[in-house]
A and B are shown apart, each in its own frame.
Chain A
Amino acid sequence: MSYREFRAPTGLLPVVACLWRNDTLVDGTERVVPDGCVDLVWLGDGPPLVVGPDTGPVVWEPTGVPTCGVRLRQGAAGNVLGLPASAVRDLQVPLTEVWPEAGALSEQVATAGDTAECLRLLAGAVLHRRVTPDPLATEAARRLADREIRVADLAAELGVGERQLHRRVTAAVGYAPKTLARVARLRRLIGADEAPTMSLADQALAAGYASQAHMTDEVHRLTGVTPVRFLEDVRLTAA
């Protein structure tokens, strides 16, 4: 078992997408691509980290031990962290920098020595925050995940101004709505069930790219590799 996701306990359902454990990093690297989520992560050594929403690919180096984490939903990170999620964009920072009062927790996680205990501590800590996600940002993320939609139209549909949407999404997710839309399009490219039977050009259009060239450009920017290589990797990881 190299990567395993656990369903979140009911109290965490509004703010947590999943809890995960990863053995891949014991002796290998892993390319992590933007998914619009913020994770609380334990890399098997030292204190827990907050891993912010990435805007480009990050290669994780071997840790020597299994790692685990709590993945916050899009739209929940700002309230769970207690600061604008954009403050940790493209960053990995110790949890105590975000939650100064979490010194004891951080110490417990650092000395726990096994992923099950770490997940219990991290999940408990998020539960005890007792926060809910920003409903506007959550709804914006849901609609963007679903289909191609212009930010101005999205704001109008949600009954807010573009500037307010920008502010709320940036604070809750860590991305501006346009970036979130780009990440959502990448997720649609990965998520299409019928994709293996379609041509690359058709996959590009189905995910919402203007053309295959547009897709190549964006996939490279977000993942650092070509669409062919990226889609192969994704299917290998999922298998």
Chain B
Amino acid sequence: MAINSEVLVIGGGLAGLTSALKAAREGADVRLVSYKQSSLRHASGLVDLLGYTPDGEGPITDPYAAMGDLPEEHPYRRVGVETVRESMSLFDEVTDYRGDHTDTNALVPTHGGTVKPTARYPTGAAAGLASDDRDVLLVGLESLVDFDAPHAAAHLEAAGVPFDVRGETIRFPGDLQADAKITRYAKLLDTNGDVAVRGRKKGARDALAERVNTVRDTEERIGFPAILGDAHTDAVRAALEEKIGADVFEVPMGPPSLPGLRLEDALFEALDEAGASFETGNPVVDFDADGERIETVYIEKNGAKIPNSADQYVLATGGLVGKGIESDRESVTEPVFDCHIEHGEDRYEWFDGDAFGDHPFASFGVETDETLRPLTADSAVQFENLRAAGSVLGGYDFAAEKSGSGVSIATGYVAGENAAAEAR
């Protein structure tokens, strides 16, 4: 016996979540199993489709228009531009993200003071867009050294943004420890918890707004690092807006990322609503196959092997960061099903001598047919009932192209759709 479902998705990142969601919405009985928390916790929470060409040209204005020029083995070419659009509509439906009103990339200021082309951004970042010409005040916090507001402001100014921008650093009320966790700020703001200001207790939201008001000039938009609440982020922003009398936005931060966490929560919630099952915390380590078909996979829990069976499987275990692809000095491998990964014999061919050069390792990954079934070294379908999605796929370099989330969503969508169709 085993724990059964029609479609079993392995991996709980953006790709796995999208594919489970799509398959569940198509009516399949879906189960998602994932080991660790996904790379969403490290990512900015911005959803990029295509910001630059593989050769580094850009920023690209219309990512859909540019997809046709991508190399043939690129996952976007595999699934087709129309499907990318469809997958993005599914994403829009289940999240509270903006950017769906236009095909063109939005320009979002980042914590380093650069402007990043992205397809979708959280509502909380909306008031900060670089295409808006209202003046901006960036507010940094003394204890949060990752975001140096004056520095970021200077960078933005130098990048030629069409507005005046100024940075101020303040103390978070209550004088938290220098190494306070971002979740500590978020929780205080979420609950409007008491902080001590000159010996008197005050709600954190009120106290923060008061501090900002002492440094604010006439700016109509105020940008904070992305710590404005976790469970009640809209309420936190609304309260600050009211008390400051200006629009408030979050600047996406480096890891660990609250916007990434919130996105993960929203997707799991959608998955729950769609009726899918999921389990996180333990890895898939082994499988049984009968010739061309995978029959059972095994989740390991401290030595116990828990069998999970399904009709169709989706591999969405991530790339080198998610541990869906492993490499050592000799070879590059996909550890769950040992899917074939094309790579040069000599590991010195894996990267370029120039640190910013064109590194083959960046696009290492599984190759597939049009329905996303992994292919063996001689281009045969490896297993009839296995599909791959997200950064476990080869043929693209998400870091260079700024296409990570888009590829995960689009290929997850296709893998989920095909798996559900086969399972029915």
Report if A and B associate in a common complex. no
